[in-house]
Chain A
Amino acid sequence: METIRDMEPPPHIIGIKHFVDYKTVDEILKSKNFRQGSHQESQPFFGDSLLTIDHGEHFERRRLEAPLFRKEALEYYEREELLPLISSSLEECEQNRGADGLVRADLCLLVRNMLARISAVTTGIDGVDTPERTDAFRTYVEQLGTGATVEWSTEDHGEVIERILAIRQGFVEEFYGPSVERRCELIDQFRAGQISEDDLPRDLLTLMYLHWNEDWDDELPLREATLYTVASSQTTTHAVPHMMMHLHEWFEVHPEDYEKRFDREFLKRAGHEAIRLHLPSPALLRIALEDVTLSNGIEIAEGERVACLFTPANRDTSVFGDDAKSFDPYREVPDVKPWGFAFGGGEHTCIGRTLVTGLSARTDGDEGTDGTLVNIALALFGAGIELDPEEMPAFTELSYHDAYGRFPVILRDL
């Protein structure tokens, strides 16, 4: 099975200038002469969210939301939410013990369930507290993600948008609406002096309703919540199967490293390599705000949309070495982020990156958390994860994304 594939550009970026080398992509992402140009069709889902606004407006929105990712908050999520959720998710897997005594699971679903609850906490969605409710929430988030990335869908885009908007209504009725209602009641109590600010939940929806901006439309919190629920689960859900596949292959060739499957630093490096090679957002678009001449001499006209292809840029041999197109958990790239453009770049760098990579990554200069990739990998190896020899993983056919749609595993030690 080919586990590292070249990127197939989706239709929506064919016909515009593509940039595939690391240096040029880096220049464009950092440049203040461009604005966000992605998510044109998916405006109903992500419109005016943090992902799609720029410059001053982006700064103000990011400033509002950044406290969700303070060091103390990240430590809380990891210690009080992520680790217990990982444990309970694995315990639930034991209910699927087969006649042969083995526990089998689809890693794609398992990780998505783990992350669903975390994303609910950071976003401010209540009631994701039983296996059934988690499954329902996870399904909604998965569908919302399909709508929010409709540009990458291999299905008819209009049909996808219509279908997902209808599904979103169910999400609003079952989860989002009641969560907002509770928070608004609490905020009213706070403003009436009946409770202190410390009594308010610390999540996205509370922040938005507490600090309402009159320039926002009434539906903006729903779109921002969509961004958070989708983005906070998507990267890890996307990355963990790739990480497990590459480690499976690595350990076959390097059996002496198998004992490192519980080594946090080794797993961190493996996680970085996995997301470097397999980006959850393989390409982003930018629109020039004025006529621009890049350092390589290429001219871009005002209003022109260009595509930054992260997948080839993250495999740029001039940056990541001659073997850039292969997985190497010992790769040393001292001058760039080890994950390359996996979290974008410039002011649009993913606000939730530290949830995934942890704060103790080399680039943070701080100790504190290890992030979702390391903690989930540790738990999976603790559960004795193996690929299921009777059922091979398969890539999704519903999207141009470099993602597994199914990843059967055996959890031998459960």
Chain B
Amino acid sequence: MADPELHVKINSLICEGTAYCVRINPDVFGIGTDGLGEVLVDRPAPEFEDSLEEAATLCPTRAITY
């Protein structure tokens, strides 16, 4: 069951399509047709929080919030 406190977003204005987030968590993140990151599951389960933190920190442009 999704945790309502985890709400994943990618700021498309600053995302640069490095796809690092996809490498960390391909269940939550993907690459859109525009080559930029897209959120596949915007309200994931709590067990995803650690990987979300890693993805958000690793993103070179810090485009991810959750």
| Chain A interface (Cβ < 8 Å from any Cβ of B) | 29-30, 59, 62-63, 66-67, 69-71, 334-337, 345-349, 351, 353-354, 359, 363-366
Can you list 21 pairs linking A and B with CB atoms under 8 Å apart? A30-B18, A63-B20, A63-B58, A66-B54, A70-B53, A70-B57, A334-B13, A346-B16, A347-B18, A347-B20, A347-B60, A348-B60, A349-B16, A349-B61, A353-B62, A359-B62, A363-B61, A363-B62, A363-B63, A364-B65, A365-B9
Instruction: Flag B23-36 by CB within 8 Å of A: 1 or 0 each.
Output: 11000000000000
Q: Which A residues are CB-close (under 8 A) to B60?
A: 62, 346-349, 351
| Inter-chain contact B65/A365, CB cutoff 8 Å | yes
Q: At the interface, yes or no: B44 with Cβ under 8 Å from chain A?
A: no
With contacts A62-B60, A349-B60 taken as known, whether A335 is within 8 angstroms of B13 at the C-beta atoms is yes
A346 to chain B, nearest CB (A): 5
With contacts A67-B57, A364-B62 taken as known, whether A346 is within 8 angstroms of B9 at the C-beta atoms is no
Q: Which B residues are CB-close (under 8 A) to A335?
A: 13
Number of B residues with CB within 8 Å of any CB on chain A: 19
- Complex CA–CA separation, A225 to B53 (angstroms): 25
- Within the complex, which residue of B9, B14, B17, B57 is in contact with A363, where a contact is CB–CB below 8 Å? B14
**CB-based nearest A residue for B60:** A349
Q: Which A residues are CB-close (under 8 A) to B13?
A: 334-336, 363
Q: Which B residues are CB-close (under 8 A) to A30?
A: 16-18
- Complex CA–CA separation, A67 to B53 (angstroms): 10
- Complex CA–CA separation, A316 to B13 (angstroms): 18
Known: A63-B20, A349-B60, A363-B61. 15 other contacts (CB 8 A): A30-B16, A30-B17, A62-B60, A63-B24, A69-B57, A70-B57, A346-B16, A346-B18, A348-B60, A349-B16, A351-B60, A353-B62, A363-B63, A364-B62, A366-B65
- Complex CA–CA separation, A346 to B36 (angstroms): 11
With contacts A30-B16, A59-B23, A349-B16 taken as known, whether A66 is within 8 angstroms of B62 at the C-beta atoms is no
- Within the complex, which residue of A66, A354, A364 is in contact with B58, where a contact is CB–CB below 8 Å? A66
**CB-based nearest B residue for A364:** B62
- Within the complex, which residue of B9, B16, B20, B62 is in contact with A354, where a contact is CB–CB below 8 Å? B62
- Complex CA–CA separation, A363 to B14 (angstroms): 7
Q: Which A residues are CB-close (under 8 A) to B65?
A: 364-366
Q: Which A residues are CB-close (under 8 A) to B24?
A: 63
| Inter-chain contact B57/A66, CB cutoff 8 Å | yes
Q: Which B residues are CB-close (under 8 A) to A70?
A: 53, 57
**CB-based nearest A residue for B24:** A63
Q: Which B residues are CB-close (under 8 A) to A336?
A: 13
**CB-based nearest A residue for B61:** A349
Instruction: Flag B1-25 by CB within 8 Å of A: 1 or 0 each.
Output: 0000000010101101110100110
Q: Which B residues are CB-close (under 8 A) to A346?
A: 16, 18, 60
- Within the complex, which residue of B11, B17, B20, B58 is in contact with A365, where a contact is CB–CB below 8 Å? B11
Q: Which A residues are CB-close (under 8 A) to B58?
A: 62-63, 66
B22 to chain A, nearest CB (A): 11
- Complex CA–CA separation, A363 to B11 (angstroms): 8
B32 to chain A, nearest CB (A): 14
- Complex CA–CA separation, A62 to B20 (angstroms): 10
Q: Which A residues are CB-close (under 8 A) to B23?
A: 59
